[in-house]
Amino acid sequence: MADINAENSHHRPELTSTGSEPGVEGPTAPVDPALVSFMELFYFAYRNFTGDPDAVLERYGFGRAHHRVLHFVHRNPGLKVAELLDILKITKQSLARVLKELRQKGFIAQRPGPDDLRERRLHLTLKGVRLTDKLTELQVRRIAHALKEAGGSADEVTRRFLVAMIEPHERDQVCSLVKCAEHRETDAKTGAT
């Protein structure tokens, strides 16, 4: 089953010749190999994280894009389209496509805004709630398990890490969206329920 690099040792290491001036490496700081492996773990962890829901979504003819919409609408009922666009950072046209499908298949409903009738406030239907909850449960389960395996302080610490990975100018938006106690270093460890 092609075990990738059990045999790494026998790979001929060197750079290739194509433009051979060797050693010209350029102005790149020497990179900590421990952090490189960290990058890789982040990649593989995220791939597994998204893998669970992907499998379910497929059965509905949906993709990851639909999942994101379902999720954020679930968490922020009555969300305006413009707000959703600002969260997802995609274009109106991209969103329109998945939104239309979710609407037509009865997972999302829109109601005109209470004050401004131009707005289409987004809500999940019961069907939408059921699906979204199922997806959430899958991902939450994986996270809960990983946190347990990572040890006691993992929730708090990893949370701070994830927040710190976010660009400062984006951080406030994300933190209020996420209802972020973890920004100001308070709790976030109390296994709420």
Using alpha carbons only, what angle is made at residue 65 by residues 59 and 68, rounded to the nearest 5 degrees? 100
Per-residue binder mask for DNA (CB under 7 A), 93-112, x = binder: xx-xxxxx---------x-x
Residue 67 near residue 57, CB atoms below 8 Å: yes
With CB under 7 A as the contact rule, which of the stretches 10-18, 34-42, 91-99, 174-182 interacts with DNA? Answer: 91-99
Q: How far apart are alpha carbons 54 and 110 in whole angstroms?
A: 25
Q: Amino acid letter at 22?
A: P
With CB under 7 A as the contact rule, which of the stretches 26-34, 37-45, 86-94, 149-157 interacts with DNA? Answer: 86-94
Does position 87 interact with DNA (CB under 7 A)? The reply is no
Q: How far is the CB of 104 from DNA (least distance, A)?
A: 10
DSSP state of 79: B
Does position 123 interact with DNA (CB under 7 A)? The reply is no
- Residue among 81 and 154 whose Cβ is closer to DNA: 81
Q: How far apart are alpha carbons 144 and 6 in whole angstroms?
A: 31
Q: How far is the CB of 183 from DNA (least distance, A)?
A: 26
HSE-up of residue 106 (Cα within 13 Å, Cβ side): 3
Binding site for DNA (CB under 7 A): 61-66, 68, 80-82, 89-94, 96-100, 110, 112-113, 115-121
